[in-house]
Amino acid sequence: MASTTNEVLYELPGFKFIRLYKDGKFERLIGTQVVPASTDPETGVQSKDVVISSETGVGTRLYIPKTTNPGQKLPLLVYFHGGAFVIETAYSALYHNYLNSLVAEANVVVASIDYRRAPEHLLPVAYDDSWAGVKWVASHFNGGGDEEWLKEYADFERVYFAGDSAGANIAHNMAIRVGSGGLDGINLVGIVLVHPYFWGKDPIGSEDISKKEMVDKLWAFVNSETSGSDDPLFNPVMDPKLPNLGCAKVLVCVAEKDLLRDRGWHYHKSLGKSGWGGVRDIMEAQEEDHVFHLFKPTCENALVMLKKIASFMNQDKT
């Protein structure tokens, strides 16, 4: 939504992805490129788009691997894209390309949820939209629902949530909802949090204090009603419901040069002390920065992480 005036009202300090103008309009500076669903020529992975709610516009891009056998049920991954709750979509080229690779490597079915974003729709809209997507997926359990790919190929006893950055934040919070209130129709085995967008009021570890105000302001920008940077949605360590995380295992992926690195480690360690009884794993990519795997998908560290995530979702296969 480009403005007709050059009078800039606000730019988030340190984040060059959105600009607000005095006339009330705004402009997303990156993360706007989308690609159609298709059959990927390199992997043979098929994808298609489905509208979940015509009222809200919430939708999903579904993926199935090239080779699917009649009667074979595959692990089901519900994926939440990143972008600081502001940019990117489930139809972005970055995520479409990444999920084609992940589906081919892991041999899983994926439902990539497209939720509404700030600043048009402030939090908790993205969480509520994502939960609506999860419930829509779960409605296909035991032959229900209208989407044939889910009914034919998805194993609802082997469901995973995953996401990167803000999407990892969403994946965690969706697992909290599953653990706190339950969700009929699926067995959430595990979650994968890639460079999770977590923060907190007080700095930890080796966090760059000079950038703390920048991250605080971004969170306040997307969630105007937040209690602050210790909001349990943003700082899960402060959440009394953390022990109720509704899955049996968690994989956290961090990157050495990522501003959010220490938060990923802190989450991993705190989860182990919380009373949650599942299995934790964490991997760190040396010399890499935030969501490097999306921009350098064929580098060695990205391929290692891809294989790790694929293995994580296939360990319980029989």
Is residue 186 a contact partner of residue 159, using CB atoms and an 8 Å limit? yes
Using CA atoms, how far apart are residues 100 and 87, in angstroms rounded to an integer? Answer: 20
Say how many C-beta atoms besides its own lie within 10 A of residue 7's C-beta.
Answer: 8
- Can you read off the two tokens belonging to residue 187? 């067995």
Q: Which listed residue (165, 195, 231, 268) is catalytic?
A: 165
Q: Residue 81 catalytic?
A: no
151: exposed, middle or buried (Cβ count in 10 Å: 0-12, 13-18, 19+):
middle
> Can you list the positions of beta strands (E) in 165-248?
188-194
What does the block give as tokens for 102? Answer: 């992940």
Compute the distance between CA of residue 184 and CA of residue 174 in angstroms, rounded to an integer. Answer: 14
- The yes-or-no answer on residue 165 being catalytic is yes
183 backbone dihedrals φ, ψ, rounded to 5°: -155, 110
Q: Which residue among the candidates 40, 164, 231, 258 is catalytic per the annotation?
A: 258
Q: Is 290 a catalytic residue?
A: yes
Catalytic residue numbers, as ranges: 165, 258, 290
